Amino acid sequence: MRTCVGCRQRALIGELFRVVVQDGRLVVDERRRLPGRGAWLHPGPDCLAKAERRRAFPRALRDPGALDAQAVREYLTGT
């Protein structure tokens, strides 16, 4: 079980996707095996928006930088 950084609800790993930082940007770890810290998120724009509003990614990933979530948003929306 992991906690979604957006809605803070616990869910099975298979229901969430893993986000990691690469070069100061948030990227989706599709195979859930990239090294380093990961943040877990439901695959929906609502939880992404909540996570951004709460600044959950810098906290979960221990990275104080301005993390660019564009790649995650594109992944979620398919654009």
Nearer to Zn ion, 47 or 72 (CB): 47
Contacting residues toward Zn ion, per CB under 5 A: 4, 6-7, 42, 47
Nearer to Zn ion, 24 or 43 (CB): 43
Supply the minimum distance, in Å, between the C-beta of residue 40 and Zn ion: 9
Q: Tokens 């690469």 map to which residue?
A: 22
Buried b (16+ CB within 10 A) or exposed e, 16-45: bbbbbbeeeebbbbeeeebeeebbbbbeee
Measured at CB, which residue is nearest to Zn ion? 4
